[in-house]
Amino acid sequence: MGLKVILSLKGGKMKKYNLGDFVFGAILFAIIVLMAFVPSLGFIPIIPGVAYATLLHIPVLIGAIFLGWKWGLALGLTFGISSMTQAFLIMGPANAPFTNPIVSVLPRVLIGVLAPFMHSWLTKAFKGREKLALFFTFGIMTIIHTVTVLTILYPIIETGWYYTKTTEDVASITLKAILLSIVSINSLAEIVLAVLIGPAIYLPLDQLRKKRNHKLEEEV
């Protein structure tokens, strides 16, 4: 019973929260921040200064599926703010638009909120085949992330509404080339990495959680 903490809610109602979930969520927050600011850990340079594949959406998706959409929202927000900060620190033709929170924060919050619902729906669609549901969840949510970023990114780049200190560099690279590099290189790499790494981390954690919950039920 030591793993559970009881918090009071409005209306005099009481709700039980698992302390282990809070610890796991805090660890994911720390991992996201660490990956964002340790060179080549969270943003892998495909073409240095132009194209970077991110791994930060993976802990966001793991946390969202594991802990629910509220945690997904918070983790996605952490990802977005970290990405925006990184864009200011490491300026480049492809990074400059991500100094805008609409590009860097909004899509990351969106996938954090949607992921648990997508996973639940796919689990039902695949009749309880958890591994298959996870593979598709990580893949589809990564695609949604990319499409959302590009949908927002296009008009922002086209109108020049972003901060940059390397105007000459941006001017030398056409919008088509930037978007093509993101779609063909970043997106493919991010989808493959998410599908391979995400389920490989999630499944053992889920097994541990089930064993822990079973043990707690026996103690009760």
Q: Is 5 part of any domain?
A: no
Q: Is 7 part of any domain?
A: no
Confidence band (pLDDT; 50, 70, 90) for 10? very low
**d(C-alpha 57, C-alpha 154), whole Å:** 21
- Give the pTM: 0.81
Q: Is 133 part of any domain?
A: yes
Q: Is 70 part of any domain?
A: yes
Higher pLDDT among residues 89 and 8, named by residue? 89
Torsion-angle region of residue 130: left (phi > 0), alpha (psi -120 to 50) or beta?
Answer: alpha
Q: Is 35 part of any domain?
A: yes
**d(C-alpha 42, C-alpha 95), whole Å:** 14
Tell me which range, 17-21, 67-71, 208-212, is most confidently predicted by mean pLDDT.
67-71
Q: Is 68 part of any domain?
A: yes
Per the listing, tokens 């946390």 go with: 63
pLDDT attached to residue 183: 59
- 69, burial (CB in 10 Å: exposed 0-12, middle 13-18, buried 19+): middle
Residue 115's φ and ψ, nearest 5 degrees, are -55, -50
Q: Is 167 part of any domain?
A: yes
Q: How many domains does the chain have?
A: 1
Q: Say what percent of the chain tops pLDDT 70.
A: 70
pLDDT attached to residue 54: 84
Higher pLDDT among residues 3 and 59, named by residue? 59
pLDDT digit string, tens, across residues 101-129: 998 999 999 999 999 999 999 999 998 89
Per the listing, tokens 């990495």 go with: 193
For residue 177, give its domain range. 18-219
Query: In Å, how far are 33, 171, 180 from 158, measured between CA atoms?
Result: 30, 11, 14
Q: Give the residue from 198, 195, 197, 209 showing the smallest Cα distance to 64.
A: 198
Confidence band (pLDDT; 50, 70, 90) for 9? very low
Q: What is the CATH number of the domain that holds 82?
A: 1.10.1760.20
pLDDT attached to residue 126: 93
Q: Is 76 part of any domain?
A: yes
